[in-house]
Amino acid sequence: MIQAARREFAPAKLNLTLHVTGRRADGYHLLDSLVVFLDVGDVVTLTPGPLSLGIRGPFAAGLDAGPDNLCLRAARLAGREAAITLEKRLPVASGIGGGSADAAAVLRALDAPATGIQTLGADLPVCFAGRHSRMRGLGEILDPLPAMPQLHLVLVNPGHGLSTPSVFRALAHRDNPAMPDPLPEWPDMAALIGFLHDCRNDLEAPAIALMPEIATCLAALRGADAQLARMSGSGATCFGLFADADQARMAAADLAVAHPGWWVTSSGLAPAKG
């Protein structure tokens, strides 16, 4: 059992790019992705007590607190007991890694080692490290990114979850080109955005085929003057990059008014980890 209470932020994960470069015999896909962490996220609090989970917050209703919840699976993997409270602020099954972020936060709060964490999900290693990374392999090969300029983001989710396996199954071409190696430096946001325009999220087209509203989200971000709009992960959350924090905040406010059923928020990057 843990000795003292711990509170841990579980930042949203964003795939600025997601290239699917192959598929293994076991059906898992090889990825090449720029992954960054945001200043929006869930919060987990652990207090001494037998293993338990309570969920509150705006997206609590969409999530089961049973034994399959990734917070409980993470604690069991670590072999530790704690009373866990999850403040669910991120939409569930939305391509921004909520479950993986929560599991990683529980493991950090328990000072658990990284051993075996990928059994909880392909996004676990990057979320556990919590560092802006180039992520390859199935998600286990991580290289820190060159210094990132500050980004001014708006996240938009159409309000329905999307299953990751079904998006991978709907992918038409599985052998797509990787990102350049090595990656260039990005001295400012313009350089990064120029680079991102030459990259892709290969899961965007299959996700749109399954949930056409994703295309509406992307069009709305572009209509709000985003310099780049793209889907994250296996969707359905999309992000727009804006010129500055004020423009991002104003675009988020306008989009929220125009689309009351959507989850809309402005965000910056989480502070870089050393």
Ligand X SMILES: Nc1ncnc2c1ncn2[C@@H]1O[C@H](COP(=O)(O)OP(=O)(O)OP(=O)(O)O)[C@@H](O)[C@H]1O
Of the residues 42, 102, 123, 202, which is catalytic? 123
Contacts (Cβ under 8 Å, ≥6 apart) of 231: 95, 201, 203, 204, 207, 208, 214, 218, 237, 238, 239
Give the whole-angstrom CA distance, residue 101 versus residue 22: 25
Tell me which of 2, 28, 57, 92 binds ligand CDM, using CB under 6 A.
28
Q: Does 138 bind ligand CDM (CB under 6 A)?
A: yes
Q: Measured from the CB atom, is 32 or 224 closer to ligand X?
A: 32
Binding site for ligand X (CB under 6 A): 63, 69-71, 86, 92-100, 102, 123, 164, 233-234
Q: Measured from the CB atom, is 101 or 252 closer to ligand X?
A: 101
Tell me which of 41, 91, 130, 139 binds ligand CDM, using CB under 6 A.
139
Tell me the DSSP string of 241-267.
Answer: EESSHHHHHHHHHHHHHH-TTSEEEEE
Counting residues that bind ligand CDM (by CB under 6 A) gives 17
DSSP H helix total and E strand total for the chain: 8, 10
CB of 100 to ligand CDM, least distance (A): 5
Q: How many C-beta neighbours within 10 Å does residue 182 have?
A: 9
Instruction: Give the CA distances from residue 247 to residues 148, 225, 239, 266, in Å, rounded to whole numbers and listed in that order.
Output: 20, 9, 14, 10
Q: Measured from the CB atom, is 87 or 123 closer to ligand CDM?
A: 123
Contact predicate 46/84, CB 8 Å: yes
Of the residues 13, 42, 102, 202, which is catalytic? 13
Q: Does 123 bind ligand CDM (CB under 6 A)?
A: yes
Q: Measured from the CB atom, is 213 or 254 closer to ligand X?
A: 213
Which residues are part of a known binding site for ATP? 91-101
Q: Does 85 bind ligand CDM (CB under 6 A)?
A: no
Q: Is 88 a catalytic residue?
A: no
Q: Give me the sheet containing 228-231, strands edge to edge.
A: 228-231, 238-242, 152-157, 263-267
Q: Is 42 a catalytic residue?
A: no
Segment interacting with ligand CDM, rule: CB under 6 A, options 26-34, 39-47, 75-83, 151-159: 26-34
Of residues 143 through 172, those in contact with ligand CDM by CB under 6 A are: 164-165, 168
CB of 250 to ligand X, least distance (A): 26
Q: At what angle do helices 98-109 and 70-78 cross, to 10 degrees?
A: 30
Contact predicate 6/108, CB 8 Å: no
- Catalytic center residues: 13, 123
